[in-house]
């Protein structure tokens, strides 16, 4: 993947490439302003879950065309970031994706792991979407080149004007 672009490359990995990793891929692709080239994969990929598509559409991110991918198809590629999103894939990802420069791990519970009936899981999809979105904002901040002069950043994507004249009004 790195050979195709000058951008930093990121792969998100989870068990089935059906909820967490497509959500993360959709978020980062949408919000990164082209800074990252993004893909996702799973150990046993299946089609993206309708609940994941629905909750991402609620925030104007379309992941409906997502094609499930196997982690093994990326085994000979180098990535700037290999991001595992569930505990049970972490070791396998580190073994298969040895060309990764940085491995990042954060476990997110998938709605299927909670065990509610399908008609009751939409709230769980929203929760995992929101958790992933917040975590990605901190982990992969947006490019800062478009911030106005005299701006500083107080945490990821929280720009404030810096007082430079000694006048500190409250």
- Known catalytic residues are 14, 86
Within 10 angstroms of residue 59's Cβ, the number of other Cβ atoms is 13
Paired tokens of 15: 């068990």
Pairing outcome for strands 79-84 and 100-105: parallel
CA–CA dist 109, 112 (Å, integer): 8
What are φ and ψ of residue 76, in 5° steps? -100, 15
Round to whole Å and give the CA distance between 50 and 68: 13
Residue among 113, 93, 118, 116 at smallest CA distance from 105? 93
Distance CA 135, CA 104 (A): 12
């Amino acid at each position: 993947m790195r050979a195709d672009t000058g951008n930093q490359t990121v792969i998100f990995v989870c068990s089935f490439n059906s909820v967490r990793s497509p959500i993360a891929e959709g978020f980062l692709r949408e919000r990164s302003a082209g800074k990252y080239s993004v893909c996702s994969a799973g150990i046993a990929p299946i089609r993206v879950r309708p609940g994941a598509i629905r909750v991402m559409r609620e925030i104007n991110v379309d992941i409906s065309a997502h094609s499930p991918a196997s982690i093994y198809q990326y085994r000979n590629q180098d990535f700037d970031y290999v991001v595992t999103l569930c505990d049970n894939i972490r070791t396998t990802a580190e073994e298969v994706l040895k060309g990764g420069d940085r491995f990042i791990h954060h476990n997110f519970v998938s709605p299927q792991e909670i065990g509610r009936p399908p008609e009751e899981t939409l709230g769980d999809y929203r929760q995992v979407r929101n958790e992933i979105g917040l975590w990605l904002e901190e982990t992969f901040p947006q490019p800062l080149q478009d911030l106005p002069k005299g701006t500083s950043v107080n945490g990821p994507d929280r720009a404030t004007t810096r007082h430079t004249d000694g006048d500190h009004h409250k």
